[in-house]
Structure 1
Amino acid sequence: MAHESEMSTEKLPLLPDDVAAQWLGSKLGHKVKSVSLTRTKFGTGTKLFYFIEYENEVADPSSRPSHVCVKGVFDPVMLKSQSWTLSLAQREADFFAKIAPAIKHMRYPRGWWGGRSDQQGIAIMSDLVHEGCTFPSEAGSYPLETVLEGVYQIAGLHAQFWGKSQEDYPWIDNNYDPAMLAITETWDSVVREPGRPKLPEYLMDGARVRKAQKKYYSRRNPKFRTLLHGDTHMGNTYFTADGHIRFLDWSAFHFASCFHDLVYFVSTMMTVEDRRTHEMEILDYYLSTLHSLGGPKLDRNDEELMIEYKKSYLTNLVWPVCGYILQPKTTVDVFAERTIAAWVDHKVLEVVEAEP
């Protein structure tokens, strides 16, 4: 995995046509004969998929990729209307350059290079589809066994960076909270649009929700701080050819409360009924795995822990207000339903409001 400096001074490709054979070869460390664009996937980050032919043979073909995904901001129209997508691309490039090589327990796409400039952030990864990987269906749900395999990896990431903060990694700022505060600004109007998921009356009050959101961000308990993936919902998972769950989209990692990753993952992966049935069993498994992989010994009989756990469900607040241009309606509606059920079950808003 090639590393890159803090801020690349070279000009990185800004349009798909700029991704030339010579440029790709320089990043992969091999002379490239030709590259062909096989498909493109647009979103908050654009994914360009290429088939690469090299000039010469190597003894070990797995030491270099034949099919890659080049992810960055390659859509000038999207970038102009959603300028925050640049910071996501730069953050993911940083992940592959600086953090990925050290991660022990959490599994993610193989990265070949990451770099950023003031106008771009690019990550070169293996093409998962070519590797036989599959992706969850838009409104899917999964059994306990699958969820626990994901929880094991989340606990492993958290154990490895337990107690660390931005003081230890000054370049990892919290880009997540400001993005979520921007998204909830339109709460009052979005939740009243025709065809949106039905919310309980008290959640129609955008001012109340945002006040709780701000209080949660300012009062997280440092006792549970670690490095988060930050965006562990089901849509950022995939399955290997042999059926193992892995995590995608590392553009939101930051330091915050460990339960953010846990509840965001579990509550989007399972039906409301399954989550209610297995939730405490999953929490116990997370806590025991965290300890076995080098983290602290924690217990859910600790009232302080359960308060932090319940508060962390505010992580999910993107779904009731998420625009259908950002995510498919089927996904948004199902995740909103799962979110609201968890908020009601755990009296999440009330728990945050009751804090001193």
Structure 2
Amino acid sequence: MSMREKRRAAALTARIAGHYLRDRVGGAARAEVGAVPAAPNALTPEWLTAALCAEHAGARVESLRLTGGSDGTSSRRGLVVEYNEAGTAAGLPTELFTKSTTALTMRIVCGLCHLLENESGFYSRIRPELAMEAPIGYHTVFDPRSFRSMFVLENVAQTKGATFGNPLTRVLDKAMAEDMVSQLALFHGAFWDSPRLTGEFDWLLTGLDWHTTMNNMINTGKMFRNGVTLGEEVIPPELFARRDELWPGLFRSMELHARTPSTLVHADVHAGNWYVTGDGRMGLYDWQCTLRGNWALDFAYSIMSGLTIEDRRAWERELLELYLDRLQAAGGDAPDFNAAWLQYRQQTFHGVFSWIGTLGQGRMQPEMQPRDISLANVERIMQAVADLESLDALNEE
């Protein structure tokens, strides 16, 4: 990180901290209509009426109740609302889910790394166009100075009987894996090589720009090096011996990523961000890392994290063939299998970064994942990198 970037990050952090302290002094004050609530317990019927009822004359929220949740890079809470007769008759949503940046560390990480622009933009401007399984975004707002945020989304656990898991608690069968890559093909195909990615959706960064920004703002290179050391027990020995090639390999893969047609990329498609609906459909949430770039980043990351090592080895070629067929049907110009296989091998490194970096996160960052889940992902992903000889693939054209 250059001295200029250090000063920029320090100034932005200080500004965010100042706003956060003012919020703390004021407590969880009731949010005024038009403001961005500082926390879920600052929500009011009046604020929610403005957020949810604007297009329905006479409708208003009468009451609200927060339910259970969790904290990571954001604070997540369930929300149940009740409407007056006009709101009920209009069929307005009652089972909701909020994501907000209530803690200082959340605001700093989300602010420095452009995460709020991504997720707000996805739910407000992109999600309405997609015929895929993902939550509906009802109202998403954030303040670009304080990085206070409040996203009001569909609670798919209640509306669709969705269940959530991770590499330790859920095993995907082949039909689920096929639906997972088919969901990727739907949104990749919808925005394949689209000029809207750099025009209407100009907040979307390329993979190379995003990783450069992340490193400049929160020193992800240090996190990565720490994570490699902490993950040695689950990294294949032949890959650990080449550990000094992994960080440069990430940036080399991002350079290659930029040479191919771009599409909308979720970029955080690990097992914990997929859910299964009550009727068995695979769905995808947490769109805060959205990028524009190469399809294979999502494909590789999904199957490396979502499948056991044995199942990934057994199914990856068939899943790639299916993905390419579905991509073509959804409007993408699918590469031939051999070209796609090479891109798959080359685009494993974003997944490596995501979990090695999480394992090596700094003390001032929010705890993103428990260590056992991080190690399970590192083991699966690093074995894929070894199996696919991804480091060597970076030199192939």
* TM superposition score category, shorter chain reference: 0.7 to 0.9
Work out whether residues 155 and 290 of structure 1, in 8 Å CA contact, stay in contact via their aligned partners in 2: yes
- 2: CA distance, partners of 1:83 / 1:148: 32
- Report whether the alignment pairs 1:27 with 2:54: no
1:330 offset after TM fit, Å? 2.6
Aligned to 1:146: 176
CA–CA distance in 2 between the matches of 1:54 and 1:85? 37
CA distance in 1, matches of 2:76, 2:88: 29
Instruction: Tell me the CA shift for residue 180 of structure 1.
Output: 6.0
After the TM superposition, which of the residue ranges 14-23 and 151-160 deviates more from structure 2? 14-23
Residue 189 to residue 230, structure 1, CA distance change in 2 (3 Å): closer
In 1: Cα distance, 2:388 partner to 2:180 partner: 23
TM-score (normalizing by structure 2)? 0.78
Give the counterpart of 1:171 among 177, 200, 203: 203
Amino acid at match of 1:116: F
* 1:70–1:123 Cα contact (<8 Å) kept: yes
Q: Secondary structure at the match of 2:76?
A: strand
Which of 160, 175, 192 is 1:162 aligned to?
192
TM-aligned CA deviation for residue 249 of structure 1: 0.5
How much does 1:263 deviate?
1.0
User: How far off is 1:295 after superposition?
Assistant: 1.6
Q: For residues 255 and 291 of structure 2, what CA distance do their matches in structure 1 show?
A: 15
Shift of 1:60: 4.5
Matches within 5 A, 1:1-356: 10-29=34-53, 30-58=59-87, 60=89, 63-80=91-108, 82=109, 84=111, 87-104=114-131, 106-118=132-144, 119-131=147-159, 132-139=161-168, 140-164=170-194, 166-168=197-199, 169-174=201-206, 176-178=210-212, 181=215, 182-193=219-230, 197-200=234-237, 202-203=239-240, 207-220=244-257, 222-302=259-339, 305-317=340-352, 318-323=354-359, 325-352=367-394, 354-355=395-396
Deviation digits for residues 250-299 of structure 1, max 9, x if unmatched?
Answer: 11111111111111111111111111111111100011111122221432
- Structure 1 length-normalised TM: 0.87
CA contact (8 A) 1:197 1:320 kept: no
Deviations 1:218-253 (A, max 9, x none): 232533421111211111011112221100101111
Q: Does the 8 Å CA contact 2:328/2:334 hold for their aligned counterparts?
A: yes
Match of 2:332, SS state, is coil
Cα distance, 1:69 vs structure 2: 1.0
CA distance in 2, matches of 1:43, 1:37: 18
Would the aligned equivalents of 2:227 and 2:357 in 1 still touch at CA under 8 Å?
yes
SS in 2 for 1:101: helix
Alignment-mate amino acid for residue 164 of structure 1: S
Deviation at 1:189, TM superposition (A): 3.1
Residue 52 of structure 1: how far off its partner (Å): 1.0
1: CA distance, partners of 2:320 / 2:214 = 25
Q: CA deviation at 1:120?
A: 2.7
Uncovered stretches (5+) of structure 2, i.e. residues with no partner: 1-32, 54-58, 361-366
Map of 1:6 onto structure 2: none
The separation in 2 between residues aligned to 1:207 and 1:66, in whole angstroms, is 51
| Residue aligning to 1:3 | none
Q: Distance in 1 between matches of 2:309 and 2:85?
A: 54
Q: Which amino acid aligns with 2:211?
A: D
User: Is 246-255 or 223-232 further displaced after alignment?
Assistant: 223-232
Q: Is the 8 A contact 2:183 2:282 kept in 1?
A: no
- Structure 1 letter corresponding to 2:174: L
Given that 2:72 and 2:369 are in contact with CA atoms closer than 8 Å, whether structure 1 keeps it comes out as no
Deviation at 1:109, TM superposition (A): 0.9
Matched residue type, 1:37: L
Distance in 2 (alpha carbons) for counterparts of 1:85 and 1:98 = 22
Amino acid at match of 1:107: E
| Count, aligned residues | 342
Shift of 1:213: 1.2
- The one-letter code of the counterpart of 1:329 is R
> Distance in 1 between the 2:112 and 2:156 partners?
22
Identity of aligned residues (%): 23
Partner amino acid for 1:167? T
Matched-pair contact (CA < 8 Å) for 1:148–1:282: yes
Aligned to 1:5: none
Distance 1:102 1:332 in 2: 33
- 1:151–1:221: structure 2 CA closer, same or farther, 3 Å change rule? same
Distance 1:13 1:85, change over 3 A: farther
Structure (1 or 2) with the greater helix fraction: 2
Taking only aligned residues, the RMSD between alpha carbons, in angstroms, comes to 2.5
Q: Which runs of 5+ in 1 are unaligned?
A: 1-8
8 Å Cα contact 2:235/2:378 also seen in 1: no
Q: Matches of 2:305 and 2:105 in 1, distance apart?
A: 31
Cα pair 2:157 2:163 within 8 Å, conserved? yes
1:323 maps to amino acid: L
